[in-house]
């Protein structure tokens, strides 16, 4: 199903005002209210069309004669999203792969320190915890409220031995948005490396990597892309500092596909791609990113913050407990989370919504608090959120 307009010519207002167009671009809206983009998003119609087309082509040949040009075009689109140079982008997912490449590719010394948040999503916890076996000292952040990592909290944790700060751009439960620019400025001044797990921001919030050293994000959440296609960014000046820990015929130069006695890596971020890329998924990711870039990330961010404000007002009026509702707008994201003390109540709410064709995420925080996480994207409507509140109260 192809939309009648080129995505570049579309606007969010245009999509919201034309229900038939909205249904064509986002087929899930025909049947369900999908508010779980912080989990695994459904694919847009144009992305599904690209996947079908490329799968059909692949039934004759998976490697197009112009596949190198195709790969570089995907890199350029991914680089636009984060304001990077395309040679700094490796086309790797999942997010945990990129984070592990950072954790395992740096040369650690006994007593080096890593600042991280133990109550982040596990993919951004375990790679850093594992460094303890190399003599690295782990410095856990302990915010007063779930996910509320501030620049002040980070600065207080730094010492002369801090080598790396590894944080998420947005907390997966509370939706608290990291002031990554403020943190990056201070870390750059101190010569401390900064690694960002950006999966809960890319596609929903502007991320500029000018002051970030490493970034990883799969495309299946706010980027609206396929599972397993993703972006791994390494600042060019760190290519020699961050050693590739996965080797293969793609990232180690092998003239004529003949293995060499001495290994020389590719000069670009391709050095972190050991083997064949997930081309089908990357074609889909490119299609979704072109849609997002065409609409404008700043416009998407503004829409998501408006939807969150609307959801907060409705939920608070209905006497629900909403995480982080009193935070500043700049600290918020598209994630709105209801905190529920009782597991049985949370499960019952989730089931009621599911039975009424509403998708949300049921999560649990440390300490036994259960969470219903609502994460609409720009194409969701206020009427859908009102319907969700109505169902919860019924």
Residue 2 has pLDDT above 50, yes or no: no
**Residue 162 confidence (pLDDT):** 98
Candidates 278, 332, 281; CA nearest to 305 is: 332
- As a CATH number, domain 67-293 is 3.40.640.10
Contact 220, 193 (CB under 8 A): no
For the chain, what's the residue count? 394
**Residue 367 confidence (pLDDT):** 84
**Crossing angle of helices 279-295 and 45-58, rounded to 10°:** 150
Where does CATH 3.40.640.10 sit in the chain?
Answer: 67-293
How deeply is 213 buried, as exposed, middle or buried, from its count of CB atoms within 10 A (0-12, 13-18, 19+)? Answer: buried
Residue 63 has pLDDT above 90, yes or no: no
Contacts 24+ apart (CB under 8 A), 86-89: 87/236, 87/267, 87/268, 87/269, 88/209, 88/233, 88/234, 88/235, 88/236, 88/268, 88/269, 89/231, 89/232, 89/233, 89/269
**Residue 9 confidence (pLDDT):** 74
- As a CATH number, domain 297-393 is 3.90.1150.10
Where does CATH 3.90.1150.10 sit in the chain?
Answer: 297-393
Q: What is the mean pLDDT of residues 145-173?
A: 97
User: Residue 368: pLDDT band by 50, 70, 90 thresholds?
Assistant: confident
**Residue 4 confidence (pLDDT):** 38
Question: What radius of gyration do the chain's Cα atoms show?
Answer: 21
- pLDDT tens, position by position, 324-360: 999 999 999 999 999 998 999 999 999 999 999 999 9
Structure tokens belonging to residue 172: 């997966």
**Residue 313 confidence (pLDDT):** 98
C-alpha atoms less than 13 angstroms from C-alpha of 99 in its C-beta half-sphere? 25
Pairing state of beta strands 370-374 and 193-197? unpaired
- CA distances (Å), origin 85, targets 77, 89, 266: 10, 7, 16
User: Residue 7: pLDDT band by 50, 70, 90 thresholds?
Assistant: low
Residue 153 has pLDDT above 90, yes or no: yes
């Amino acid at each position: 199903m192809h939309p009648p307009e080129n995505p570049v010519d579309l606007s969010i207002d245009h999509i919201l005002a034309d229900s038939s167009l909205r249904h064509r671009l986002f087929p899930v809206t025909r049947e369900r209210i999908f508010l779980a983009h912080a989990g695994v998003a459904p694919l847009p119609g144009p992305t599904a069309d690209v996947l079908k087309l490329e799968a059909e082509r692949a039934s004759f040949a998976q490697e197009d004669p112009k596949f190198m040009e195709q790969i570089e075009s995907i890199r350029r689109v991914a680089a636009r999203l984060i304001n990077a140079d395309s040679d700094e982008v490796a086309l790797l997912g999942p997010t945990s792969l990129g984070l592990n490449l950072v954790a395992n590719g740096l040369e650690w010394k006994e007593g080096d320190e890593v600042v991280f948040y133990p109550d982040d999503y596990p993919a951004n916890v375990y790679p850093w915890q594992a460094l303890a076996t190399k003599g690295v000292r782990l410095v856990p952040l302990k915010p007063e409220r779930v996910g509320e990592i501030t620049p002040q909290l980070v600065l207080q944790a730094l010492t002369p031995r801090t080598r790396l700060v590894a944080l998420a751009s947005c907390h997966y439960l509370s939706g608290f948005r990291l002031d990554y620019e403020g943190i990056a400025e201070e870390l750059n001044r101190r010569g401390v490396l900064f690694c960002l797990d950006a999966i809960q921001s890319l596609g929903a919030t502007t991320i500029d990597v000018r002051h970030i050293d490493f970034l990883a994000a799969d495309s299946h959440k706010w980027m609206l892309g396929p599972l397993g296609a993703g972006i791994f960014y390494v600042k060019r000046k760190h290519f020699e500092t961050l050693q590739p820990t996965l080797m293969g015929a793609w990232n180690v130069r092998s003239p004529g596909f003949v293995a060499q006695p001495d290994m020389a890596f590719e000069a670009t971020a391709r050095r972190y791609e050991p083997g064949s890329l997930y081309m089908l998924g990357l074609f889909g990711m490119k299609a979704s990113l072109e849609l997002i870039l065409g609409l404008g990330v700043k416009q998407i961010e503004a829409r998501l913050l408006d939807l969150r404000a609307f959801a907060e007002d409705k939920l608070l009026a209905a006497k629900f407990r909403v995480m982080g509702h009193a935070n500043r707008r700049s600290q918020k994201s598209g994630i709105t989370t209801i905190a529920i003390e009782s597991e049985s109540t949370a499960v019952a709410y989730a089931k009621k919504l599911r039975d009424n064709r509403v998708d949300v995420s049921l999560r649990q925080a440390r300490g036994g608090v259960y969470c219903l996480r609502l994460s609409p994207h720009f194409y969701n409507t206020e009427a859908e959120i009102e319907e969700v509140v109505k169902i919860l109260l019924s």
